[in-house]
Structures are given as structure tokens and as C-alpha cells.
Amino acid sequence: MSRTSSPPATDAAIGLDWANDEDGALDHAYQRWGPLVHGLARKAVGPVEAEDVTQQVFLSAWRARETYSPDHGPLGAWLVGITRRVVADTLRVRRRSAQVPVADDQDVPEGRWEDVDRDDLLSVYEELERIGDPPRQILLLAYVHDKTQKEIAELLDLPLGTVKTHTTRTLARLRTRLGGAP
């Protein structure tokens, strides 16, 4: 991987580079979606195993890169699907072996990822991409990085009321998009 190349300008460009097996595609994809994958993994399996899951996701994705097609959806959504499978496998192994106990502070409910519909994950991801920033940043900081609304306001240098409004409106939009109650 080339560390000197600049990343493509858009998510679509990164996806095309990935599909065409361009130099630096893995690096660009990791820079763009690594935090999202790691955050999802951290929520599901806890901080101890999140780094391993993240590495497994990108390794699996790279090995299966010829199966990715930009026509079927964005690269980020494809990576979220791989994350879901790797997390499910990790949780299955954890339950079977019982050698890796879940710490009290992790509080990971069983079946959390196995029961999530892949289409719902893709819909959430695609809608977040459409929403843009700062609402997208706010939701990712809140639900992937476990930041409070006050912390988010400080990080993004926004008024707390603005963060709360963006959160409420964006969650309502996602609920509507997924067909839930308004």
C-alpha cells in the first residue's frame, strides 16, 4: 500500500478504486471506513476484541475484493455487511468457548447482530451518507463512539441545542426511512 498517495475525493471513487484493484485502495478504504467498522465492532464485542474484528473485516474484504461491485451498492455498505458477519462469528465463538467472558461494562446482548437485517443496515448506511454533515457526524459520534450530546457539541463546536435538534430529526428520518413509527 502506498502511504504517499492522496485518497480519492469521494466514497464512490474509493469504491471504484477498490473494484479496479488500484494501488492504495485498501489504505483509502481503511482510512475512510476503518473508524465506522471499528465503532460497530466495539459496540458489539467490546473494546478488547474490536481491533481484531476490524482487522478481520478488512482482511476478509481484501481477499474477497473481486466479489465487490459498485453497481450493487457502496463499498461502505459492503464493509458493514462483512462487519456484521465477522461480529456474529466472533460472538458465536465467544459463546461456544466461554473462554472470553463478557465484562460487565461491555453488556453485549446475545443475538444483537445476528438479528439485524442486512437490508436495514444498508438502508441506515445509505441514509447516513445522504444526510451529510453535521447530522451524520453527530449520529456516528453518539451511536458508534458513545459520546454524549454535550461531548459532541464540544467536539464539533456546536451549540448543545443544535446537536439535540440534529439528533432528533435525523433519528426520525431514519425511522421513517426504515418504515418504523414516526
Report if residue 3 sits inside a domain. Answer: no
Lowest mean per-residue pLDDT among 54-63, 73-82, 88-97: 88-97
pTM above 0.85, yes or no: no
Tell me if 28 sits within 8 A of 17, measured CB to CB: yes
**How would you label 160-178 residue by residue, b for 16+ Cβ within 10 Å and e otherwise?**
eeebeebbeebeebbeebe
Question: For the chain, what is the domain count?
Answer: 2
Q: What is the mean pLDDT of residues 59-87?
A: 89
Instruction: Please tell me whether residues 130 and 150 are part of one structural domain.
Output: yes
- Domain interval for residue 124: 117-182
Of 80, 115, 150, which residue is a domain's last? 115
Give the Cα separation of 106 and 109 in Å (integer): 9
Which of these ranges, 49-58, 73-82, 144-153, has the smallest mean pLDDT? 144-153
Residue 32 lies in a domain: yes
Q: Final residue of a domain: which of 115, 134, 149?
A: 115
- CATH code, domain with 154: 1.10.10.10
Give mean pLDDT, residues 5-14: 71
